[in-house]
Structure 1
Amino acid sequence: MIRLSHVSKSYGDEVVVDDASLSVEPGEVVAIIGPSGVGKTTLLRMLALFLRPDEGTVELDGTSVWEADEDTRLELRRRVGMVFQEASLFDASVARNVEYGLRIRRGWDDRLRDGLRSILGSNGTPEAVEGALDVVGLDDKLGQEADSLSGGEAQRVSFARALAYDPTYLLLDEPTSDLDPRNTGLIEEAISEARDRGLGVVVATHDMHQAERIADRVGVLLGDGFTEVGPTETIFEDPSDERTRKFISGELVY
Protein backbone atom coordinates (compact mmCIF):
# COMPACT_ATOMS: atom_id res chain seq x y z
CA MET A 1 0.00 0.00 0.00
CA ILE A 2 0.88 3.66 -0.12
CA ARG A 3 0.90 5.10 3.37
CA LEU A 4 1.21 8.71 4.50
CA SER A 5 1.95 8.95 8.21
CA HIS A 6 1.54 12.30 9.96
CA VAL A 7 2.72 14.31 6.95
CA SER A 8 2.84 18.09 6.92
CA LYS A 9 3.77 20.50 4.17
CA SER A 10 4.23 24.27 4.24
CA TYR A 11 5.03 26.90 1.64
CA GLY A 12 6.74 29.72 3.44
CA ASP A 13 4.65 30.56 6.48
CA GLU A 14 1.53 28.91 5.09
CA VAL A 15 0.78 25.41 6.35
CA VAL A 16 -0.95 23.60 3.48
CA VAL A 17 -1.20 20.08 4.91
CA ASP A 18 -0.95 19.47 8.64
CA ASP A 19 -0.43 16.08 10.32
CA ALA A 20 -2.35 14.04 7.73
CA SER A 21 -2.33 10.25 7.61
CA LEU A 22 -3.81 8.07 4.87
CA SER A 23 -3.29 4.58 3.46
CA VAL A 24 -4.38 3.29 0.06
CA GLU A 25 -4.38 -0.36 -0.96
CA PRO A 26 -4.53 -1.93 -4.42
CA GLY A 27 -8.09 -2.72 -5.44
CA GLU A 28 -9.84 0.18 -3.71
CA VAL A 29 -10.95 3.70 -4.53
CA VAL A 30 -10.32 6.36 -1.90
CA ALA A 31 -11.85 9.80 -2.37
CA ILE A 32 -10.41 12.89 -0.71
CA ILE A 33 -13.10 15.52 -0.29
CA GLY A 34 -12.87 19.04 1.01
CA PRO A 35 -13.29 22.64 -0.11
CA SER A 36 -10.86 24.39 -2.43
CA GLY A 37 -7.57 25.45 -0.90
CA VAL A 38 -7.34 22.86 1.89
CA GLY A 39 -4.40 20.96 0.40
CA LYS A 40 -5.97 18.16 -1.65
CA THR A 41 -3.59 18.64 -4.59
CA THR A 42 -0.57 18.94 -2.30
CA LEU A 43 -1.58 15.70 -0.61
CA LEU A 44 -1.89 13.99 -4.00
CA ARG A 45 1.57 15.21 -5.00
CA MET A 46 3.01 13.69 -1.85
CA LEU A 47 1.24 10.42 -2.65
CA ALA A 48 2.64 10.64 -6.19
CA LEU A 49 6.14 11.02 -4.68
CA PHE A 50 6.58 14.40 -6.37
CA LEU A 51 6.76 16.33 -3.10
CA ARG A 52 8.70 15.49 0.02
CA PRO A 53 6.78 16.31 3.19
CA ASP A 54 8.36 18.64 5.72
CA GLU A 55 7.39 16.20 8.45
CA GLY A 56 6.13 12.63 8.49
CA THR A 57 6.85 9.61 6.32
CA VAL A 58 5.71 8.24 2.97
CA GLU A 59 5.87 4.48 2.41
CA LEU A 60 5.16 2.45 -0.69
CA ASP A 61 4.75 -1.28 -0.04
CA GLY A 62 6.88 -1.08 3.07
CA THR A 63 9.69 1.07 1.66
CA SER A 64 10.20 4.50 3.18
CA VAL A 65 10.36 6.52 -0.02
CA TRP A 66 12.38 9.51 1.12
CA GLU A 67 14.90 7.40 2.99
CA ALA A 68 15.57 5.22 -0.06
CA ASP A 69 18.37 5.84 -2.55
CA GLU A 70 17.62 7.76 -5.72
CA ASP A 71 17.39 4.68 -7.98
CA THR A 72 14.92 2.99 -5.65
CA ARG A 73 12.87 6.16 -5.38
CA LEU A 74 12.70 6.44 -9.18
CA GLU A 75 11.48 2.86 -9.47
CA LEU A 76 8.82 3.52 -6.85
CA ARG A 77 7.66 6.63 -8.67
CA ARG A 78 7.15 4.58 -11.82
CA ARG A 79 4.51 2.57 -10.01
CA VAL A 80 2.33 5.62 -9.42
CA GLY A 81 0.38 7.41 -12.15
CA MET A 82 -1.28 10.79 -11.87
CA VAL A 83 -3.97 12.53 -13.90
CA PHE A 84 -4.15 16.27 -13.41
CA GLN A 85 -7.20 18.49 -13.42
CA GLU A 86 -6.43 19.91 -16.86
CA ALA A 87 -5.43 17.61 -19.70
CA SER A 88 -2.07 18.41 -21.30
CA LEU A 89 -1.77 16.62 -24.60
CA PHE A 90 0.90 16.83 -27.27
CA ASP A 91 0.32 18.02 -30.82
CA ALA A 92 0.09 14.46 -32.10
CA SER A 93 -2.39 11.65 -32.55
CA VAL A 94 -4.33 10.13 -29.68
CA ALA A 95 -2.27 6.95 -30.05
CA ARG A 96 1.04 8.83 -29.81
CA ASN A 97 -0.15 10.61 -26.70
CA VAL A 98 -1.01 7.32 -24.99
CA GLU A 99 2.28 5.76 -26.12
CA TYR A 100 4.26 8.52 -24.44
CA GLY A 101 3.85 7.15 -20.95
CA LEU A 102 5.08 3.74 -22.05
CA ARG A 103 8.20 5.18 -23.60
CA ILE A 104 9.09 7.39 -20.66
CA ARG A 105 8.21 5.23 -17.71
CA ARG A 106 9.99 1.95 -18.43
CA GLY A 107 11.04 1.83 -22.02
CA TRP A 108 8.87 0.53 -24.81
CA ASP A 109 10.21 -3.02 -25.00
CA ASP A 110 10.24 -3.61 -21.23
CA ARG A 111 6.72 -2.29 -20.90
CA LEU A 112 5.32 -4.65 -23.50
CA ARG A 113 7.18 -7.63 -22.12
CA ASP A 114 6.76 -7.19 -18.39
CA GLY A 115 3.44 -5.69 -17.49
CA LEU A 116 0.96 -4.25 -19.91
CA ARG A 117 -0.56 -7.51 -21.03
CA SER A 118 -1.15 -8.48 -17.38
CA ILE A 119 -3.55 -5.55 -17.10
CA LEU A 120 -4.89 -5.10 -20.60
CA GLY A 121 -4.40 -8.54 -22.14
CA SER A 122 -2.29 -7.20 -24.99
CA ASN A 123 0.76 -8.71 -26.66
CA GLY A 124 1.62 -6.00 -29.14
CA THR A 125 1.99 -2.27 -29.45
CA PRO A 126 -1.27 -1.40 -31.26
CA GLU A 127 -3.32 -3.65 -28.97
CA ALA A 128 -1.69 -2.17 -25.89
CA VAL A 129 -2.63 1.36 -26.80
CA GLU A 130 -6.10 0.33 -27.93
CA GLY A 131 -6.59 -1.51 -24.65
CA ALA A 132 -5.92 1.60 -22.61
CA LEU A 133 -8.21 3.67 -24.83
CA ASP A 134 -10.92 1.03 -24.66
CA VAL A 135 -11.08 1.46 -20.89
CA VAL A 136 -12.04 5.13 -21.37
CA GLY A 137 -14.26 4.52 -24.39
CA LEU A 138 -11.96 6.08 -26.99
CA ASP A 139 -10.61 3.10 -28.90
CA ASP A 140 -12.24 4.51 -32.03
CA LYS A 141 -10.13 7.72 -31.77
CA LEU A 142 -6.75 6.02 -32.16
CA GLY A 143 -5.56 8.00 -35.20
CA GLN A 144 -7.38 11.25 -34.48
CA GLU A 145 -5.32 14.35 -33.72
CA ALA A 146 -5.43 15.32 -30.05
CA ASP A 147 -6.14 18.98 -30.79
CA SER A 148 -9.46 18.02 -32.38
CA LEU A 149 -10.81 16.40 -29.21
CA SER A 150 -13.37 17.90 -26.87
CA GLY A 151 -12.29 18.78 -23.34
CA GLY A 152 -13.90 15.64 -21.96
CA GLU A 153 -12.27 13.43 -24.57
CA ALA A 154 -8.88 15.01 -23.88
CA GLN A 155 -9.24 14.24 -20.18
CA ARG A 156 -10.10 10.65 -21.00
CA VAL A 157 -6.95 10.39 -23.15
CA SER A 158 -4.94 11.66 -20.17
CA PHE A 159 -6.54 8.92 -18.09
CA ALA A 160 -5.65 6.32 -20.72
CA ARG A 161 -2.05 7.56 -20.88
CA ALA A 162 -1.67 7.07 -17.13
CA LEU A 163 -3.38 3.69 -17.19
CA ALA A 164 -1.39 2.34 -20.13
CA TYR A 165 1.93 2.07 -18.34
CA ASP A 166 0.35 -0.21 -15.76
CA PRO A 167 0.79 1.65 -12.46
CA THR A 168 -0.06 0.04 -9.16
CA TYR A 169 -1.63 3.25 -7.93
CA LEU A 170 -3.53 5.89 -9.89
CA LEU A 171 -4.10 9.40 -8.54
CA LEU A 172 -6.65 11.79 -10.02
CA ASP A 173 -6.95 15.48 -9.19
CA GLU A 174 -10.50 16.74 -9.83
CA PRO A 175 -10.68 14.53 -12.95
CA THR A 176 -14.20 15.56 -13.96
CA SER A 177 -14.10 19.25 -13.09
CA ASP A 178 -16.16 21.22 -15.64
CA LEU A 179 -16.97 18.12 -17.70
CA ASP A 180 -20.40 17.32 -19.08
CA PRO A 181 -22.40 14.46 -17.51
CA ARG A 182 -21.53 11.96 -20.27
CA ASN A 183 -17.77 12.40 -19.95
CA THR A 184 -18.06 12.46 -16.17
CA GLY A 185 -19.89 9.14 -16.27
CA LEU A 186 -17.33 7.57 -18.59
CA ILE A 187 -14.43 8.62 -16.37
CA GLU A 188 -16.23 7.28 -13.30
CA GLU A 189 -16.72 3.98 -15.13
CA ALA A 190 -13.00 3.94 -15.97
CA ILE A 191 -12.16 4.53 -12.31
CA SER A 192 -14.30 1.56 -11.32
CA GLU A 193 -12.68 -0.60 -13.98
CA ALA A 194 -9.20 0.41 -12.79
CA ARG A 195 -10.15 -0.66 -9.28
CA ASP A 196 -11.55 -3.95 -10.56
CA ARG A 197 -8.23 -4.56 -12.31
CA GLY A 198 -6.47 -4.26 -8.96
CA LEU A 199 -5.23 -0.68 -8.97
CA GLY A 200 -5.38 1.50 -5.90
CA VAL A 201 -7.12 4.71 -6.96
CA VAL A 202 -7.19 8.05 -5.13
CA VAL A 203 -9.56 10.76 -6.37
CA ALA A 204 -9.40 14.30 -5.00
CA THR A 205 -12.74 15.98 -5.60
CA HIS A 206 -14.94 18.77 -4.31
CA ASP A 207 -17.97 16.83 -5.62
CA MET A 208 -19.34 14.94 -2.62
CA HIS A 209 -21.93 13.15 -4.73
CA GLN A 210 -19.16 11.79 -6.94
CA ALA A 211 -17.23 10.57 -3.91
CA GLU A 212 -20.35 8.83 -2.66
CA ARG A 213 -20.86 7.14 -6.04
CA ILE A 214 -17.35 5.83 -6.70
CA ALA A 215 -15.37 5.51 -3.47
CA ASP A 216 -14.89 2.58 -1.11
CA ARG A 217 -13.47 4.92 1.53
CA VAL A 218 -13.53 8.70 1.95
CA GLY A 219 -11.16 11.07 3.70
CA VAL A 220 -12.49 14.49 4.72
CA LEU A 221 -9.77 17.15 4.54
CA LEU A 222 -10.69 20.45 6.15
CA GLY A 223 -7.42 22.36 6.31
CA ASP A 224 -6.10 20.98 9.58
CA GLY A 225 -5.59 17.41 8.42
CA PHE A 226 -8.26 14.78 7.97
CA THR A 227 -11.21 15.07 10.30
CA GLU A 228 -11.77 11.38 9.59
CA VAL A 229 -11.22 8.64 7.04
CA GLY A 230 -13.64 5.75 6.78
CA PRO A 231 -16.03 3.67 4.70
CA THR A 232 -18.08 5.82 2.35
CA GLU A 233 -21.43 4.89 3.86
CA THR A 234 -20.20 5.71 7.36
CA ILE A 235 -18.75 9.08 6.36
CA PHE A 236 -21.95 10.22 4.66
CA GLU A 237 -24.54 8.68 6.95
CA ASP A 238 -22.94 8.42 10.39
CA PRO A 239 -19.71 10.45 10.67
CA SER A 240 -17.98 10.39 14.03
CA ASP A 241 -16.58 13.92 13.84
CA GLU A 242 -18.91 16.91 14.16
CA ARG A 243 -16.86 18.90 11.63
CA THR A 244 -17.38 16.16 9.06
CA ARG A 245 -21.12 16.17 9.66
CA LYS A 246 -21.33 19.95 9.33
CA PHE A 247 -19.25 19.98 6.15
CA ILE A 248 -21.32 17.28 4.45
CA SER A 249 -24.60 18.91 5.51
CA GLY A 250 -23.46 22.31 4.26
CA GLU A 251 -23.45 23.93 7.71
CA LEU A 252 -19.69 24.37 7.67
CA VAL A 253 -18.83 26.89 4.95
CA TYR A 254 -15.31 27.71 3.73
Structure 2
Amino acid sequence: MIRLDGVAHAYDEEAVVDDVSLSIEQGEVTAVIGPSGVGKTTLLRVLSLFLEPDEGRVELDGQSVWDADEEERLALRRRVGMVFQEASLFDATVARNVEYGLRVRRDWDDRIRRQFRSLVGSPEPPEAVTDALDIVGLDHKLDQPAGSLSGGEAQRVSFARALAYEPDYLLLDEPTSDLDPRNTGLIEAAIGEARDRGIGVVIATHDMHQAERVADRVGVLLGDGFTEIGPTERIFEDPSDERTRKFISGELVY
Protein backbone atom coordinates (compact mmCIF):
# COMPACT_ATOMS: atom_id res chain seq x y z
CA MET A 1 0.00 0.00 0.00
CA ILE A 2 0.89 3.67 -0.20
CA ARG A 3 0.77 5.21 3.26
CA LEU A 4 0.93 8.87 4.23
CA ASP A 5 1.54 9.67 7.89
CA GLY A 6 1.25 13.22 9.20
CA VAL A 7 1.98 14.79 5.81
CA ALA A 8 2.07 18.57 5.54
CA HIS A 9 3.11 20.86 2.70
CA ALA A 10 3.09 24.61 2.17
CA TYR A 11 3.61 27.01 -0.72
CA ASP A 12 5.06 30.44 0.12
CA GLU A 13 4.66 29.55 3.81
CA GLU A 14 0.92 29.00 3.39
CA ALA A 15 -0.10 25.48 4.40
CA VAL A 16 -1.94 23.62 1.64
CA VAL A 17 -2.17 20.20 3.29
CA ASP A 18 -1.66 19.81 7.00
CA ASP A 19 -1.31 16.65 9.09
CA VAL A 20 -2.81 14.32 6.48
CA SER A 21 -2.69 10.56 7.02
CA LEU A 22 -4.03 8.15 4.43
CA SER A 23 -3.53 4.57 3.25
CA ILE A 24 -4.23 3.45 -0.32
CA GLU A 25 -4.71 -0.26 -0.99
CA GLN A 26 -4.45 -2.01 -4.33
CA GLY A 27 -7.78 -3.13 -5.75
CA GLU A 28 -9.90 -0.33 -4.30
CA VAL A 29 -11.06 3.13 -5.39
CA THR A 30 -10.65 6.02 -2.97
CA ALA A 31 -12.32 9.35 -3.75
CA VAL A 32 -11.00 12.56 -2.22
CA ILE A 33 -13.69 15.24 -2.16
CA GLY A 34 -13.58 18.79 -0.92
CA PRO A 35 -13.89 22.38 -2.15
CA SER A 36 -11.32 24.12 -4.35
CA GLY A 37 -8.10 25.17 -2.68
CA VAL A 38 -8.00 22.57 0.10
CA GLY A 39 -5.03 20.69 -1.35
CA LYS A 40 -6.50 17.79 -3.35
CA THR A 41 -4.04 18.22 -6.22
CA THR A 42 -1.11 18.69 -3.84
CA LEU A 43 -2.14 15.50 -2.07
CA LEU A 44 -2.11 13.63 -5.40
CA ARG A 45 1.36 15.00 -6.17
CA VAL A 46 2.58 13.63 -2.83
CA LEU A 47 0.93 10.27 -3.57
CA SER A 48 2.59 10.24 -7.00
CA LEU A 49 5.95 10.22 -5.15
CA PHE A 50 7.20 13.28 -7.03
CA LEU A 51 6.50 15.95 -4.41
CA GLU A 52 8.41 15.61 -1.16
CA PRO A 53 6.24 16.98 1.66
CA ASP A 54 7.62 19.46 4.18
CA GLU A 55 6.63 17.15 7.03
CA GLY A 56 5.49 13.58 7.50
CA ARG A 57 6.34 10.20 6.09
CA VAL A 58 5.47 8.60 2.72
CA GLU A 59 5.78 4.82 2.37
CA LEU A 60 5.17 2.36 -0.44
CA ASP A 61 4.85 -1.22 0.81
CA GLY A 62 6.61 -0.24 4.02
CA GLN A 63 9.58 1.45 2.32
CA SER A 64 10.12 5.11 3.10
CA VAL A 65 10.11 6.88 -0.28
CA TRP A 66 12.10 9.94 0.73
CA ASP A 67 14.68 7.99 2.73
CA ALA A 68 15.46 5.86 -0.34
CA ASP A 69 18.26 6.73 -2.74
CA GLU A 70 17.39 8.20 -6.16
CA GLU A 71 17.52 4.87 -8.00
CA GLU A 72 15.24 3.17 -5.47
CA ARG A 73 12.86 6.12 -5.51
CA LEU A 74 12.67 6.01 -9.32
CA ALA A 75 11.77 2.32 -9.15
CA LEU A 76 8.96 3.15 -6.72
CA ARG A 77 7.67 5.99 -8.90
CA ARG A 78 7.38 3.65 -11.87
CA ARG A 79 4.63 1.84 -10.00
CA VAL A 80 2.35 4.90 -9.97
CA GLY A 81 0.45 6.45 -12.91
CA MET A 82 -1.35 9.78 -13.03
CA VAL A 83 -4.06 11.33 -15.22
CA PHE A 84 -4.42 15.10 -15.05
CA GLN A 85 -7.51 17.26 -15.42
CA GLU A 86 -6.55 18.32 -18.95
CA ALA A 87 -5.27 15.85 -21.51
CA SER A 88 -1.81 16.53 -22.92
CA LEU A 89 -1.12 14.40 -25.98
CA PHE A 90 1.78 14.24 -28.40
CA ASP A 91 1.51 15.12 -32.09
CA ALA A 92 1.27 11.47 -33.09
CA THR A 93 -1.29 8.72 -33.55
CA VAL A 94 -3.47 7.49 -30.73
CA ALA A 95 -1.47 4.24 -30.58
CA ARG A 96 1.87 6.04 -30.36
CA ASN A 97 0.56 8.18 -27.52
CA VAL A 98 -0.55 5.14 -25.54
CA GLU A 99 2.74 3.37 -26.29
CA TYR A 100 4.74 6.19 -24.73
CA GLY A 101 4.66 4.92 -21.15
CA LEU A 102 5.61 1.45 -22.33
CA ARG A 103 8.51 2.71 -24.42
CA VAL A 104 10.10 4.71 -21.61
CA ARG A 105 9.75 1.73 -19.25
CA ARG A 106 10.82 -1.14 -21.47
CA ASP A 107 14.45 -1.04 -20.33
CA TRP A 108 13.28 -1.49 -16.74
CA ASP A 109 10.42 -3.97 -17.07
CA ASP A 110 10.91 -7.50 -18.47
CA ARG A 111 7.19 -7.91 -19.27
CA ILE A 112 7.15 -4.74 -21.39
CA ARG A 113 10.48 -5.58 -23.02
CA ARG A 114 9.12 -8.96 -24.12
CA GLN A 115 6.08 -7.31 -25.74
CA PHE A 116 8.23 -4.99 -27.84
CA ARG A 117 10.69 -7.75 -28.74
CA SER A 118 7.84 -9.88 -30.08
CA LEU A 119 6.83 -7.03 -32.42
CA VAL A 120 10.19 -6.40 -34.10
CA GLY A 121 9.45 -5.71 -37.76
CA SER A 122 5.69 -5.63 -37.15
CA PRO A 123 3.48 -2.55 -37.64
CA GLU A 124 1.16 -3.76 -34.90
CA PRO A 125 1.16 -2.01 -31.49
CA PRO A 126 1.80 -4.04 -28.32
CA GLU A 127 -1.15 -5.94 -26.91
CA ALA A 128 -1.09 -3.69 -23.82
CA VAL A 129 -1.90 -0.70 -26.07
CA THR A 130 -4.89 -2.30 -27.81
CA ASP A 131 -6.14 -3.66 -24.48
CA ALA A 132 -5.96 -0.24 -22.77
CA LEU A 133 -7.71 1.46 -25.69
CA ASP A 134 -10.40 -1.22 -25.68
CA ILE A 135 -11.08 -0.46 -22.02
CA VAL A 136 -11.76 3.22 -22.81
CA GLY A 137 -13.68 2.42 -26.01
CA LEU A 138 -11.13 3.78 -28.49
CA ASP A 139 -9.55 0.66 -29.97
CA HIS A 140 -11.05 1.62 -33.36
CA LYS A 141 -8.98 4.84 -33.43
CA LEU A 142 -5.49 3.35 -33.12
CA ASP A 143 -4.15 5.06 -36.23
CA GLN A 144 -6.05 8.34 -35.93
CA PRO A 145 -4.01 11.51 -35.24
CA ALA A 146 -4.40 12.52 -31.60
CA GLY A 147 -4.96 16.13 -32.66
CA SER A 148 -8.22 15.17 -34.38
CA LEU A 149 -9.83 13.82 -31.21
CA SER A 150 -12.54 15.52 -29.20
CA GLY A 151 -11.69 16.68 -25.67
CA GLY A 152 -13.42 13.68 -24.15
CA GLU A 153 -11.65 11.25 -26.46
CA ALA A 154 -8.29 12.88 -25.68
CA GLN A 155 -8.91 12.40 -21.97
CA ARG A 156 -9.74 8.76 -22.56
CA VAL A 157 -6.45 8.34 -24.44
CA SER A 158 -4.65 9.89 -21.44
CA PHE A 159 -6.34 7.32 -19.22
CA ALA A 160 -5.36 4.49 -21.57
CA ARG A 161 -1.75 5.70 -21.66
CA ALA A 162 -1.55 5.53 -17.85
CA LEU A 163 -3.29 2.15 -17.77
CA ALA A 164 -1.23 0.47 -20.49
CA TYR A 165 1.87 -0.17 -18.38
CA GLU A 166 -0.23 -1.65 -15.55
CA PRO A 167 0.70 0.59 -12.62
CA ASP A 168 0.01 -0.60 -9.10
CA TYR A 169 -1.64 2.76 -8.33
CA LEU A 170 -3.47 5.20 -10.57
CA LEU A 171 -4.12 8.81 -9.52
CA LEU A 172 -6.84 10.85 -11.23
CA ASP A 173 -7.11 14.63 -10.79
CA GLU A 174 -10.64 15.76 -11.74
CA PRO A 175 -10.49 13.53 -14.84
CA THR A 176 -14.06 14.23 -16.01
CA SER A 177 -14.63 17.83 -14.90
CA ASP A 178 -15.14 19.19 -18.44
CA LEU A 179 -16.59 16.10 -20.10
CA ASP A 180 -20.04 15.24 -21.40
CA PRO A 181 -22.03 12.42 -19.76
CA ARG A 182 -21.00 9.79 -22.34
CA ASN A 183 -17.26 10.36 -21.93
CA THR A 184 -17.69 10.63 -18.17
CA GLY A 185 -19.48 7.29 -18.12
CA LEU A 186 -16.77 5.61 -20.18
CA ILE A 187 -14.02 6.87 -17.88
CA GLU A 188 -15.97 5.80 -14.81
CA ALA A 189 -16.35 2.33 -16.34
CA ALA A 190 -12.58 2.28 -16.97
CA ILE A 191 -12.00 3.17 -13.31
CA GLY A 192 -14.02 0.09 -12.35
CA GLU A 193 -11.98 -2.05 -14.74
CA ALA A 194 -8.74 -0.74 -13.23
CA ARG A 195 -9.96 -1.68 -9.75
CA ASP A 196 -10.96 -5.14 -10.97
CA ARG A 197 -7.40 -5.59 -12.25
CA GLY A 198 -6.03 -4.93 -8.77
CA ILE A 199 -4.96 -1.33 -9.29
CA GLY A 200 -5.37 1.08 -6.40
CA VAL A 201 -7.20 4.15 -7.73
CA VAL A 202 -7.39 7.59 -6.13
CA ILE A 203 -9.71 10.14 -7.71
CA ALA A 204 -9.84 13.77 -6.61
CA THR A 205 -13.23 15.18 -7.61
CA HIS A 206 -15.67 18.00 -6.93
CA ASP A 207 -18.49 15.75 -8.09
CA MET A 208 -19.93 14.07 -5.02
CA HIS A 209 -22.32 12.00 -7.13
CA GLN A 210 -19.32 10.64 -9.02
CA ALA A 211 -17.63 9.74 -5.74
CA GLU A 212 -20.78 7.83 -4.75
CA ARG A 213 -20.82 5.97 -8.06
CA VAL A 214 -17.18 4.87 -8.34
CA ALA A 215 -15.53 4.86 -4.91
CA ASP A 216 -15.20 2.16 -2.28
CA ARG A 217 -13.98 4.75 0.24
CA VAL A 218 -14.33 8.51 0.47
CA GLY A 219 -12.13 11.02 2.27
CA VAL A 220 -13.47 14.52 2.95
CA LEU A 221 -10.65 17.08 2.81
CA LEU A 222 -11.49 20.48 4.29
CA GLY A 223 -8.16 22.26 4.55
CA ASP A 224 -7.06 21.14 7.99
CA GLY A 225 -6.78 17.51 6.96
CA PHE A 226 -9.48 14.91 6.46
CA THR A 227 -12.59 15.35 8.58
CA GLU A 228 -13.09 11.62 8.06
CA ILE A 229 -12.36 8.74 5.72
CA GLY A 230 -14.63 5.73 5.44
CA PRO A 231 -16.84 3.49 3.32
CA THR A 232 -18.70 5.49 0.69
CA GLU A 233 -22.20 4.60 1.84
CA ARG A 234 -21.49 5.56 5.45
CA ILE A 235 -19.82 8.85 4.55
CA PHE A 236 -22.80 9.98 2.49
CA GLU A 237 -25.61 8.53 4.59
CA ASP A 238 -24.31 8.62 8.15
CA PRO A 239 -21.15 10.77 8.53
CA SER A 240 -19.66 10.88 12.00
CA ASP A 241 -18.27 14.42 11.73
CA GLU A 242 -20.59 17.42 11.64
CA ARG A 243 -18.33 19.24 9.16
CA THR A 244 -18.65 16.30 6.77
CA ARG A 245 -22.43 16.36 7.06
CA LYS A 246 -22.59 20.10 6.39
CA PHE A 247 -20.25 19.87 3.40
CA ILE A 248 -22.20 17.04 1.79
CA SER A 249 -25.54 18.77 2.41
CA GLY A 250 -24.29 22.07 1.03
CA GLU A 251 -24.64 23.92 4.32
CA LEU A 252 -20.91 24.49 4.71
CA VAL A 253 -19.75 27.63 2.94
CA TYR A 254 -16.01 27.31 2.38
- CA contact 1:100–1:161 (8 Å) conserved in 2: yes
- Give structure 1 regions of 4+ aligned residues with deviation exceeding 4 angstroms: 113-116
1:115 Cα deviation (Å)? 9.1
Alpha-carbon displacement from aligned partner over 1:207-247 (angstroms, at most 9, x marks no partner): 00000000000000001110000000110001111000000
Separation in 1, partners of 2:32, 2:244: 12
Q: Unaligned 5+ residue runs, structure 1?
A: 117-123
Separation in 2, partners of 1:109, 1:41: 29
1:111 Cα deviation (Å)? 4.2
Separation in 2, partners of 1:95, 1:61: 32
1:128 Cα deviation (Å)? 2.1
1:112 Cα deviation (Å)? 2.4
Q: Unaligned 5+ residue runs, structure 2?
A: 117-123
Partner of 1:37, secondary structure, is coil
Separation in 1, partners of 2:139, 2:35: 35
Confirm whether residue 63 of structure 1 aligns to residue 67 of structure 2: no
Provide the TM-score with structure 1 as the length reference: 0.94
Partner of 1:6, secondary structure, is strand
Confirm whether residue 161 of structure 1 aligns to residue 164 of structure 2: no
Confirm whether residue 5 of structure 1 aligns to residue 5 of structure 2: yes
When residues 115 and 192 of structure 1 are mapped into structure 2, their CA distance, relative to the original with a 3 A threshold, is: farther
Which residue matches 2:22?
A: 22
- CA contact 2:107–2:113 (8 Å) conserved in 1: no
1:23 Cα deviation (Å)? 0.5
Which residue matches 1:187?
A: 187
1:50 Cα deviation (Å)? 1.1
Which residue matches 1:173?
A: 173
When residues 75 and 217 of structure 1 are mapped into structure 2, their CA distance, relative to the original with a 3 A threshold, is: same
Cα-Cα RMSD:
1.6
1:105 Cα deviation (Å)? 2.8
Which residue matches 1:121?
A: none
1:143 Cα deviation (Å)? 0.2
Separation in 1, partners of 2:89, 2:136: 16
Separation in 1, partners of 2:37, 2:246: 18
- CA contact 1:136–1:187 (8 Å) conserved in 2: yes
Separation in 2, partners of 1:106, 1:34: 38
1:106 Cα deviation (Å)? 3.8
1:253 Cα deviation (Å)? 1.5
Separation in 1, partners of 2:177, 2:147: 19
Alpha-carbon displacement from aligned partner over 1:104-163 (angstroms, at most 9, x marks no partner): 1343873425799xxxxxxx8432210110111110010000000000000000000000
When residues 242 and 109 of structure 1 are mapped into structure 2, their CA distance, relative to the original with a 3 A threshold, is: closer
Residue correspondence of structure 1 range 234-253 to structure 2 within 5 A: 234-253=234-253
Q: Percent identity?
A: 81
Which residue matches 1:218?
A: 218
Residue correspondence of structure 1 range 23-42 to structure 2 within 5 A: 23-42=23-42
Separation in 2, partners of 1:229, 1:253: 20
Alpha-carbon displacement from aligned partner over 1:11-39 (angstroms, at most 9, x marks no partner): 11210000001111010000000011110
Give the paired residue count. Answer: 247
Confirm whether residue 228 of structure 1 aligns to residue 233 of structure 2: no
Confirm whether residue 133 of structure 1 aligns to residue 136 of structure 2: no
